[in-house]
Amino acid sequence: MRSAPSRTDAHNHVQRAYYAGDVWRNPRMRPVSSAYVNRLADRLARFGDLSPSERILEVGCGMGKFTLPLLERGYALEGFDLSPDLLAELRAHVPAGRTVRLHCGDALDPPATLRGTFDAVIGFFTLHHLIDLRTAFRAMRRYLRPGGRLIFLEPNAYNPLFYLQITLTPGMRWRAEKGLLRMTRRRFVAALRDTGFHDIRCERFGMFPPAVTNRAFGPRLEDAIERLAILRPVSAFQVVRATIPVGPSAHERGNPAERP
């Protein structure tokens, strides 16, 4: 008699099915060079203080929508994804003369060969597809060297446009996207502290989808909107950064001052 699937197995099955099939026809995931993609890639790299000399792992890299522009900028990037189909598409679009190491599996179960080997773990629109934040951050920490950084760019749960997009866009499903509801600063900070991270920073920015940002006036309009502090709480995107201590954290020593 087969045992019932675990909660994690069931969650991963939903995510694999969501991205299965003819993935190249999915315009949201297709690797293209655009003002929208470059703006988000540059924002994460700048906020995370990424350096070409660092070893960086991108979790949930998919077809390489953000992997490829970061490779073009000279970052030593490796990719990790649950879907072999998406990784095959990424590999097919790596420019001639460039190489990138790709890893397939559940990012929440780090392979022994990758543990403690990266200076930074990054991701774009990945956390809300993982089973929960504490499990995700605990796993991400295992990839990092002492003093390493975690940097993730996610949708902002308080931006109403994402709810309209999920509801109205063909192919998008709430069952796979419901993690959006957890994408708040309060939840990020609490989960990061609980899993031993410190120096936690969050920043909200942007407002428009690619259809607007990719127009000639789009980047200038985005810059103008970002200067309006009153709109910042409902910005479309947010980037979160945190660091693991070089030695045992106060949390690991049982210091209640480090607990949320």
Q: Is the pLDDT of residue 141 over 60?
A: yes
pLDDT (tens digit per residue) in 12-58:
555 555 555 545 455 666 777 899 999 999 999 999 999 999 999 99
Confidence of residue 120 (pLDDT cuts 50, 70, 90): very high
CA distance 36 to 240: 19
pLDDT (tens digit per residue) in 125-138:
999 988 789 999 99
Q: How deeply is 161 buried, as exposed, middle or buried, from its count of CB atoms within 10 A (0-12, 13-18, 19+)?
A: middle
Among 5-9, 102-106, 210-214, the minimum mean pLDDT is found in 5-9
Q: Is the pLDDT of residue 258 over 60?
A: no
Query: Which tokens in the block code for residue 160?
Result: 């109403």
| pLDDT attached to residue 7 | 65
- Ordered by where they begin, the domains of the chain are 7-258 (3.40.50.150)
Q: Helix, strand or coil for residue 55?
A: strand
Query: Which tokens in the block code for residue 136?
Result: 């995700």
Phi, psi of 152 (to 5 degrees): -130, 140
Spatial neighbors of 210 by CB under 8 A, at least 6 apart, are 34, 36, 37
